[in-house]
Amino acid sequence: MRMAKRPRTTTSKVRRDAIKHGYRSGLEHTISQQLEKAGVPVIYEQEKLAYVWPSRPSTYTPDWKLLTKDGSYFYVESKGRFLTQERQKHLLLKEQHPDINIRFVFSSNQKLYKGSKTTYSMWCEKHGFQYAFKTIPDAWLEE
């Protein structure tokens, strides 16, 4: 007698666990745990920043809002994949809100697309964004 195959799930255990805790990805969940361990308040997706996508108004919800010791703040966006539309959105946000500080934490330093010579870090450097890989740098948490 042949056993029926169990249907494959497309969501990994890490992502299912992250979703269970209210996050969209394993990287977001990992960062929330890092912030809690560092004693930094976890302010996750609490604000929407208005911006205009050419010809249509849009909003952007940053992943993390981190408060600094001087009372100011910056946003941290965690990214596994950094697609063209997301890069365009962040350039528009930077142009329309030059006073807002958005930083990225990438899961790896991939190329922008297959065959590209430009990596995520190169893109950030070119456009004036701070970035890190895997976790938020301690220096950011100590600001």
Higher model confidence: residue 53 or residue 57?
A: 57
If one looks up domain 40-141 in CATH, what number appears? 3.40.91.30
Q: By mean pLDDT, which of 3-7, 53-57, 105-109, 112-116 is the weakest?
A: 3-7
**Residue of 69, 4, 79, 21 whose CA lies nearest to 41:** 69
What pLDDT does residue 54 have?
Answer: 78
Long-range contacts of 85-89 (CB under 8 A, 24+ apart): 87/112, 87/123, 89/51, 89/53, 89/58, 89/60
pLDDT at residue number 53:
80
Q: State pTM to two decimals.
A: 0.75
